[in-house]
Structure 1
C-alpha cells in the first residue's frame, strides 16, 4: 500500500522491494559469472539456480503488486491491464505476474494436461513473450529489459509507472 501527498508518494514496500531486488541481482550476477566460465552450466545446476533467484524476484514483485492495490478499489484484472505495455497484447505487469505464477506453479503442471485457467493463461503469456519454455524466467526478464544483462532492479521504473497508473485509475473511480 502506498500513501500519496500532492504529487509525492510514500511507498515503504517499494523501498523494501528495491533492497531485496538489489540483493537478488547480486546473486544473479554471481550465477551469470559462474555460467560464463562453466563447461556445462546446466549439469552444474547453475541455470536452475539462476531461475530460482529470478523467480523469487518475480514473486516478490507480485506481492508488491497485490499490496499496492490495497484500498484502491481496483481489481487485479483491471490493474494488470493498465500501465506500461510490453506488447499490443500484454502489459508489463501482466508479464511480470505471469512470470511469478510460472515460478510458483509450474512444478504442478509437469506431466499433467493443462486445464487450469491460471496455468493456461500463464503459459500463454510466458511462451508468447519468450518464444520458448526453456529458462522462461531468465528469458522473460531479458525481454522485459530488452537486454541480456539480467537485473531485477531494472524493473523498478516500470513498477513506479504502473503505480502512478493505478493511482490515476483510483482517482477516476472516486
Structure 2
C-alpha cells in the first residue's frame, strides 16, 4: 500500500511494501555473496554449478521485483505497459522497469521455451531479446542483465533498488500530471 501526500518538493510517497522487497533482496544478495566466494575457491569443474545456482537466485530476485512493480500499480489507474516505460533507463535507452518485468518472465518461462525454440511467439522472442539487452547470446543472461542494471560487475539485487524507487516516483508523477 502506498500513501501519497504533497509537499513543497512535490509528491511524497509512503510505501509500506518497500521494506518487504528490500528484505527479500538483501537475503538473496547474502546467498549470492556466498556463491561468489565459493566460485573463487572452486575448481573449473565446480564453477558452472555455482553459476547456475546464482542465476536461479537472480531469477527469483527479478520475480520479487516484478511483484513490487505490480504492487505499486495495484490501486492506481495506469496501463501496466505504459507504467513499465516510465522511470530510469539503461545506457541503451531501455526502461529499467520493462527489463525487470522481462527478466522475471524469462526466468519463469524459459524452461518451457526450449521445447519449441524455433517457433517462439513474438511476445516470447521480445522477452528474450530484452533480457539479452543488445547481446546476441549469453550463458547467464540474468546475471549479465543484473550487471548492466548495476552499472558494474557487482551482482547485487539491491543494486536495482534505487531504480525501483525512481520508477515508483515516476509513475505517481505521471498520474498526477495526467489526471
- The corresponding residue for 2:123 is 118
1:83 to 76, 82, 87: 87
User: What residue in structure 2 maps to residue 22 of structure 1?
Assistant: 26
- TM-score scaled to structure 2, two decimals? 0.90
Task: State the secondary structure of the residue aligned to 1:150.
Answer: coil
5+ residue gaps, structure 2, are: none
Partner in structure 1 of residue 154 of structure 2? 149
- In the superposition, the TM-score normalised over structure 1's length comes to 0.92
Deviation at 1:30, TM superposition (A): 0.5
Q: Secondary structure at the match of 2:46?
A: coil
Structure 1, residues 70-124: CA drift from partner, whole Å, max 9, x if none? 1221111101111111145411111111111111111111141243233111111
CA distance in 2, matches of 1:138, 1:158: 17
Please, what is the CA RMSD of the aligned residues?
Answer: 1.5
Structure 1 stretch displaced more, 5-14 or 153-162? 5-14
Q: Separation in 1 of the partners of 2:136 and 2:26? A: 27
Assess, with a 3 A threshold, how the Cα gap between structure 1 residues 50 and 130 changes in structure 2: closer, same or farther: farther
- Off by >6 Å, runs of 4+ in structure 1: none
How many residues were matched structurally?
173
For 2:41 and 2:76, the matched residues in 1 are separated by 48
Residue 97 of structure 2 is matched in structure 1 by: 93
**How has the CA–CA distance of structure 1 residues 145 and 114 changed in structure 2, closer, same or farther, with 3 Å as cutoff?**
farther
In 2, Cα distance between the equivalents of 1:13 and 1:131? 36
